[in-house]
Structure 1
Amino acid sequence: MENQFTLTATLYKVDSLRYTPSGTPVLDVVLQHNSWQNENGMLCQIKFELPAKIIGQNAQAWQYKQGEIVTVSGFLAQKSQRIFRPMLRIQNITEYKG
């Protein structure tokens, strides 16, 4: 089954860097997206916020980049064992060069 997601958005909220018990860095962020999309021949404005998580070396690199426009890719997963709302697990993140 496919579960790949790509998005250009603003790093709207960046939490403090934390570490797993094994020492892996984790950064929780909120992505904010705003665009116009063509749907069934009509333009519609799309606005949303999406919680996301960066794990590993990228977490350290992006901890002070709130407000940056980025292109991210990764996969959607449930937020936790008990919370089934989706959150993006970011595998690749780059500064958007528009």
Structure 2
Amino acid sequence: MDNLFTLAAQIAECRELRYTPAGIPILDIMLVHESWQWENGQQCLVKLEMPARIIGKDALNWQHREQTAVEVSGFLTQKSRCYSKPVLRIQNIKEYKG
């Protein structure tokens, strides 16, 4: 089974950079998206907020980048064993030029 997710969004919030016990940087961010999509032959306005996580060297590069438009791809997983809502684990991130 595939679990691939791609989204153009804006970084609304960057939380404080933290590190795993092994010294790997982790950055939790909140993405916001708004667009018009076609569904059942009609346009509908789509708005969403999605928590996301960047792990590794990209976490260092994207801290303090609120309000930056980005294109991200990765996979969806639950945040933790106790928190079952989805979070996007970002594997690729780049500035969105439109």
Q: TM-score, normalised by structure 1?
A: 0.99
Aligned position for 1:84: 84
- The one-letter amino acid of 2:14's match is V
User: C-alpha displacement at 1:64, in angstroms?
Assistant: 1.6
Structure 2 residues without counterparts, runs of 5 or longer: none
Structure 1 residues without counterparts, runs of 5 or longer: none
Aligned position for 2:51: 51
Q: How many residues align?
A: 98
> SS in structure 2 opposite 1:60?
helix
* In 2: Cα distance, 1:34 partner to 1:14 partner: 19
Q: CA-atom RMSD, angstroms?
A: 0.4
The answer on 1:34 being equivalent to 2:34 is yes
* In 2: Cα distance, 1:58 partner to 1:20 partner: 15
* In 1: Cα distance, 2:91 partner to 2:77 partner: 12
The answer on 1:62 being equivalent to 2:81 is no
* In 2: Cα distance, 1:20 partner to 1:81 partner: 17
- The one-letter amino acid of 2:71's match is T
> SS in structure 2 opposite 1:31?
strand
* In 2: Cα distance, 1:64 partner to 1:87 partner: 20
* In 2: Cα distance, 1:46 partner to 1:90 partner: 21
- The one-letter amino acid of 1:97's match is K
